[in-house]
Amino acid sequence: MKQIMHVIRARHTDRSPYSPGHPVTDEALATLLEAARWAPTAHNMQNFDVLVVDDPAILAAIGAVRREISEVFLRENYRQMSFSEDELRRRKTGVLAATFPPAWRKPHADASTMEPSCLRDSMQGCPTLLVVLYDPEIRAPASEGDFLGIMSLGCVMQNLWLAAQSQSISAQILSAFGAHSVQRELRSILRLPANRRIAFACRLGYSMAPAPPPIRVRREVPEFAYRNRYGVPFQANASAQRD
């Protein structure tokens, strides 16, 4: 238990450039895919495929795809920003504004004035990309909006990420791959079937210049966990805390 908790606590997003000359080995990739294989999914539907992309030519073609910044993303992302480390530690949720481009850090940032970027700006030299696909026509039984199916894709993501962390492989989830405009371009590059959509992508590799450990903030357990009645904070007994 101590080992798995260590991996869970150590897992983090590595946004630094990765070395294109330091590939992720097939052995390591096989471990990640085995972890994905055992992710829990609603009704054991296993409604996912994982496309491993490590061909430099295909990575270059993907990197050339342009992505637009969403007005909704800018607005909602701004609400999650803290503009100092002290503010982030006080809030215990959200992200540090310094991790985003200056143009995104304004309360009324206008997406229409921003030049679209290319996916290579997010990929940053990664030698390996995992593209996770799903069939939108399949859903968990009686799951409104396929909430359980989406939760299952999150379980796949978590298993992949923890497996990468356990092998000291840097990882970053790239949600931009799920945008409709991006998917249209990637469909032909990756020869995706008509009934498959991209849930997310994950860049993998090894950092060229490891950054200092990121600030990690989380709420304390009594701030989100309750016992028997909502609002009554969960408090572990003394013996459980010692264990």
Q: Between the CA of residue 66 and those of 4, 99, 233, what are the distances in Å?
A: 38, 21, 47
The whole domain housing 202 covers 2-65+121-212
147 lies in some domain: yes
Here the tokens at position 23 are 């590939």
Find the distance separating the first CA and the last CA of the chain, reported in whole Å: 11
In this structure, what are the phi and psi dihedrals at residue 189, rounded to the nearest 5 degrees? -60, -45
Residue 214: the pLDDT is 79
Q: Which of 28-37, 123-132, 202-211 has the lowest mean pLDDT?
A: 202-211
Burial class (CB in 10 A: 0-12, 13-18, 19+), 177: buried
91 lies in some domain: no
Amino acid type, 193: P
Q: How far, in Å, CA of 5 to CA of 13, rounded?
A: 17
As for how many domains the chain has, the answer is: 1
94 lies in some domain: no
56 lies in some domain: yes
From 178, 76, 84, select the one nearest 122 (Cα to Cα).
178
Q: Which residue has the tokens 């238990």?
A: 1
Q: In the chain, what are the helix, strand and coil shares in percent, each to the nearest 5?
A: 45, 15, 40
* For residue 128, pLDDT beyond 60: yes
- The average pLDDT across 219-233 equals 96
47 lies in some domain: yes
189-218 pLDDT, tens per residue?
999 999 999 999 999 999 998 777 778 999
43 lies in some domain: yes
Pairing state between β 81-82 and 95-96:
parallel
Instruction: Say what the alpha-carbon torsion angle 95, 101, 107, 111 is, to the nearest 10 degrees.
Output: -120
* For residue 152, pLDDT beyond 60: yes
pLDDT tier at 94, thresholds 50, 70, 90:
very high
- The average pLDDT across 83-98 equals 95
Query: Model's pTM, two decimal places?
Result: 0.91
92 lies in some domain: no
Residues 6+ apart with CB under 8 A from 189: 58, 61, 62, 65
Q: Which residue has the tokens 């989830």?
A: 173
- Arithmetic mean of pLDDT over the chain: 93
CATH of the domain at 155: 3.40.109.10
177 lies in some domain: yes
60-69 pLDDT, tens per residue?
999 999 998 8
pLDDT tier at 239, thresholds 50, 70, 90:
low
